[in-house]
Amino acid sequence: MTAPQQAEPDVEVRAYARQVRAALADVPAERLTELLDDLEEHLVEVAAEGGEPLAVRLGPPAEYAAELRHAAGLAEPQGQASPVEPSWRTDLSSRLDAVYASPQYAAVRDFLPELRPAWWVLRAWAPLVAVDAVLFGGTSFPVPSLGLSPLVGLVLTGAAITWSVRRGLRVRRDPALADPRLSVAVNGALAVLALVALVAIGNQPDPAIAYSYSEPGPTSLAHDDGAPITNIHPYSSAGEPLEGVLLYDQDGRPIDNLATYTTDGPYPSEGREVQRLDTDPPAPANAFPQEQRVLTYDDSGNPVWTTPGTETPTPDIPSTPAEPSAPAAPSTSPSPVPGAPVEPFPGPSVPPLPGPAPEPFPGPAVEPAP
């Protein structure tokens, strides 16, 4: 692994060597070439030992250049008579060199190889997603369908990821299999496709969700146990049935929402249909009791409408309690003893009422004797 690094020094080595050359810019060219002939090879060997960055192990590039100047017996640089203002390229290069020589950059550079397996998967999956979104308008995430079925897209995605991972493992074992320039170009193109895939995923429309709103309909009258109320028979307080009674609720609205089915149908889960009969003249819908007909079935199963009798049901009306009578005054007369003779009550005798005088019997007159 050392030979390839000496043939092509990495970024940190080049940045450090560039700053050393900049610090020795006042040295004549021939003397500078002789002084820095093996600088990069030495830096590569130091970097290959691992550990801390070059700027920490060897010191800042300016100090390292001063040590080389002192070892070569060169004089300290004098002030330049006509200083040249550095161009923006030189300034940018020096800033990049400072970044490359920093410990933070070295830590990130050492960590990036750990992300290679994730990149192998991403570079196989992202192009398929980009092609699916651009050419087919696909919105199947995370597995692209490529205009086909999701199963076919899953198979193609799995095959692409498998090939990409195996290719990455082979190149990591033998770096000579990869052309550096071709690898940079291909990885750059794949990175662009990955960006396109991410943009396509972000621009996907939200799934449409249909909402239906319906106003609650009128409910039928029913008892607490759920039994439907199909008719109302009003009665007076004296228990007499009333006819043509109009019923309204607390808001003055007519009560006309009677149930149209009973619970005594031929099957437990079915009821009998009840319909209101038309009258002449028409009665209001909230007039009770109503004349109705009920749907029944004959022995052959044919529907038959029947009209119930006019008999009114006998309601359970509580009777009005009678007013209590005034208590009788206690009697002062003695009560008779059982078995004792009853004596007549003493008191004044009542004379008999005078009757009419009898008329003389009609007949011949009797003459007195002489």
pLDDT at residue 267 in the model: 52
Please write the tens of the pLDDT for every residue from 298-320.
Answer: 778 788 777 765 556 666 666 55
Note the pLDDT of residue 7: 36
Give the per-residue pLDDT at 25.
80
- The residue ranking higher by pLDDT, 154 or 368, is 154
Among 157-171, 285-299, 301-315, name the most confident range. Answer: 157-171
- On average, the pLDDT of the chain sits at 72
Which has the higher per-residue pLDDT, 145 or 82?
145
- For 294, list phi and psi in degrees, rounded to 5: -120, 140
Q: Tell me the per-residue pLDDT of 258-279, one tens digit each, with 9 for 90 and over.
A: 877 676 655 544 567 787 777 7
**pLDDT classification of 66: cutoffs 50, 70, 90:** confident
Contact 295, 265 (CB under 8 A): no
pLDDT above 60: residue 93: yes
Q: DSSP alpha helices (H): ranges in the chain? A: 2-7, 11-23, 29-35, 39-48, 54-57, 61-71, 88-100, 103-111, 116-135, 150-173, 180-202
Q: What is the CA radius of gyration of the chain?
A: 60
> Is this model's pTM higher than 0.75 or not?
no
Position 159 confidence tier, pLDDT thresholds 50, 70, 90: very high
Could you state, in order of their start, the residue ranges of all structural domains in the chain?
2-75+88-101, 115-202, 218-310
DSSP type of residue 294: E
Percentage of the chain modeled with pLDDT above 90: 2
Structure tokens at 88: 């923006």
Classify residue 177 by its DSSP letter. G
Counting runs of H as helices and runs of E as strands, what totals does the chain give? 11, 5
Q: Which residues contact 58 (CB under 8 A, 6 or more apart)?
A: 16, 43, 46, 64
Among 64-73, 96-105, 191-200, 320-329, the range scoring the smallest mean pLDDT is 320-329
Give Cα 75 distance to the centre of its chain.
78
What's the CA gap between 195 and 191, in Å, rounded?
6
Q: Which residue has the higher pLDDT, 158 or 197?
A: 158
Query: What pLDDT, in 10s, does the model give residues 324-369?
Result: 555 555 555 454 545 555 455 454 444 554 555 545 545 455 455 5
Q: What are the tens digits of pLDDT across the range 3-48?
A: 433 334 477 788 888 888 888 888 777 788 777 878 888 888 877 7
8 Å CB contact between 12 and 100: yes
In our burial notation (b when 16+ CB lie closer than 10 A, e otherwise), range 23-62 reads bbeebeeeebeebbeebbeebbeebeeeeebbbeebebbe
State the CB neighbour count (10 A cutoff) for residue 198: 13
Query: From CA 279, how far away is CA 244, in angstroms rounded?
Result: 12
Q: Residues 120, 165: contact at Cβ < 8 Å?
A: yes
Identify the residue with better confidence: 114 or 324.
114
Residues 236-248: what's their mean pLDDT? 86
Handedness of CA 286, 287, 293, 294 (dihedral sign): positive
